[in-house]
């Protein structure tokens, strides 16, 4: 049974992550927001520290754990015993780091969403070969956003290589990463079953950097657009099975989302908490105390609004922890991952804007980081599947409908 309390064994990890967020990320947060596309070199040392912790048996990093299930574990979604593992510990550390700065978290080397894809799907030989390398993930295309099944980038087998052609946009850390996990189809007529993921060297001459985007938020993180022009990728760099199995759907590539969506939800939870804590301090200092023991009708309008936002925050946090815990216990969590992502993304945006309303000029000015958090958090309601797509996934699973039956 899922325990709503934070496991005590993760207290040191959470403490370390919070210390990094407070002493490393927040002090440079505004600088890299204004210096868009400048690489935060301070994070190289932090990445080396995370690597050392993981090599020494420390649980969880900043976001590169994966969902790996053996056939025996997947049976009936049951495991011999409940356990709190890397997915939950990573989600908890991500919450703390994004309390510091979400854009900087996305810029930490070797902790990208592509690393999560590799950790989830790669075989043992691939895991060893890609170890220690930073991987971005390229899914979105100009004509295929939230509907990943509509991907038009093609992969054609030519001897010992696949030849990739197409276009990818909104690739987080695309310029700085060593590798890019590219989603492409082996056969457009075969639908979603033909979608596979390929690990492409960033230095591959067939992967051409088109541009870096100028963005509303997470400006410390580079967001790239690529063209794939007869990009030759060795066969051994395909993740998962090369077979097109129409009965298995997306197969391994979609398994990645079971892990990354709770992590994006955790990012939103961290930013939401930062907004609430700052607002609490400002309201209290302005003579608007918040008493959780009194009914809302007996408090000021500001206090009542704050408590309502805090309740939404708690719901998002617990849904996120549940989805990560289920992944640790090899239980199918696609429904819970989408619920957590939808709730946390929407809550983050609503709370950030609500806090700005409560604080007025303080919330909107650059004297505090709140206006930056409001810009940053919107992306967490969009990438890894928009709010609307998450609700559609939830509806399909609850109603037992296929993607063809409920669009």
Please state at what angle helix 301-328 crosses helix 334-359, rounded to 10 degrees: 160
Candidates 9, 105, 112, 117; CA nearest to 67 is 117
Please report where in the chains the tokens 């000029």 appear, as a residue.
361
Query: In this structure, are residues 98 and 376 in contact, taking their beta carbons and an 8 Å threshold?
Result: no
Check 141, 167, 368, 384 and give the catalytic one. 384
Query: In this structure, are residues 103 and 172 in contact, taking their beta carbons and an 8 Å threshold?
Result: no
Distance of CA 67 to the CA centre of its chain: 13
Candidates 382, 17, 47; CA nearest to 217 is 382
Residue-level length of the chain: 407
Query: In this structure, are residues 175 and 210 in contact, taking their beta carbons and an 8 Å threshold?
Result: no
- HEC letters along 246-278: CCCCCCHHHHHHHHHHHHHHHHHHHHHHHHHHH
User: Maximum distance among all alpha carbons in the chain?
Assistant: 74
Pairing label, strands 135-138, 154-158: unpaired
Distance CA 279, CA 276 (A): 5
Distance CA 178, CA 202 (A): 5
Please report where in the chains the tokens 């509907």 appear, as a residue.
147
Q: Where are the alpha helices (DSSP H) in 122-194?
A: 124-130
Distance CA 77, CA 373 (A): 38
Distance CA 159, CA 349 (A): 49
Annotated catalytic residue 384: yes
Q: Is residue 181 packed enough to be buried (19+ CB in 10 Å), middle (13-18) or exposed (0-12)?
A: buried
Catalytically active residues are 384
């Amino acid at each position: 049974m899922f325990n709503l309390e934070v496991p005590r064994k993760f207290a040191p990890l959470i403490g370390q992550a919070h210390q990094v967020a407070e002493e490393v990320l927040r002090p440079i947060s505004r600088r890299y927001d204004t210096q868009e596309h400048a690489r935060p070199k301070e994070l190289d040392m932090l990445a080396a520290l995370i690597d050392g912790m993981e090599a020494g048996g420390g649980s969880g990093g900043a976001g590169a754990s994966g969902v790996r299930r053996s056939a025996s574990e997947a049976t009936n979604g049951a495991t011999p015993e409940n356990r709190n593992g890397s997915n939950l510990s990573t989600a908890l550390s991500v919450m703390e780091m994004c309390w510091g700065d979400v854009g900087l978290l996305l810029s930490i080397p070797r902790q990208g969403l592509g690393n999560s894809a590799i950790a989830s799907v790669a075989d043992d030989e691939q895991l060893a070969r890609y170890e220690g390398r930073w991987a971005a993930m390229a899914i979105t295309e100009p004509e295929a956003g939230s509907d990943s099944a509509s991907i038009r980038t093609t992969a054609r087998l030519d001897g010992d290589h696949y030849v990739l052609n197409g276009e990818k946009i909104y690739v987080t850390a695309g310029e700085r990463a060593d590798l890019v996990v590219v989603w492409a189809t082996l056969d457009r007529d075969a639908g979603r079953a033909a979608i596979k993921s390929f690990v492409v060297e960033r230095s591959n001459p067939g992967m051409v950097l088109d541009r870096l985007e100028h963005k509303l938020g997470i400006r410390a993180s580079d967001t790239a657009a690529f063209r794939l022009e007869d990009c030759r990728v060795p066969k051994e760099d395909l993740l998962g099975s090369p077979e097109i199995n129409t009965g298995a759907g997306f197969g391994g590539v979609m398994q990645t989302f079971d892990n990354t969506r709770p992590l994006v939800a955790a990012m939103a939870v961290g930013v939401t908490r930062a907004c609430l804590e700052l607002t609490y301090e400002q309201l209290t200092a302005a003579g608007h105390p918040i008493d959780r023991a009194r009914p809302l009708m007996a408090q000021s309008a500001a206090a009542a609004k704050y408590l309502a936002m805090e309740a939404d925050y708690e719901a998002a946090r617990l849904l996120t922890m549940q989805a990560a815990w289920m992944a640790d216990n090899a239980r199918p969590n696609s429904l819970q991952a989408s619920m957590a992502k939808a709730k946390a993304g929407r809550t983050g945006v609503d709370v950030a804007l609500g806090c700005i309303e409560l604080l007025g000029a303080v919330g909107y000015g650059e004297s505090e980081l709140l206006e930056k958090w409001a810009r940053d958090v919107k992306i967490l309601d969009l990438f890894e599947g928009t709010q609307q797509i998450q609700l559609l996934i939830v509806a399909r699973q609850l109603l037992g409908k296929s993607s063809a039956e409920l669009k």
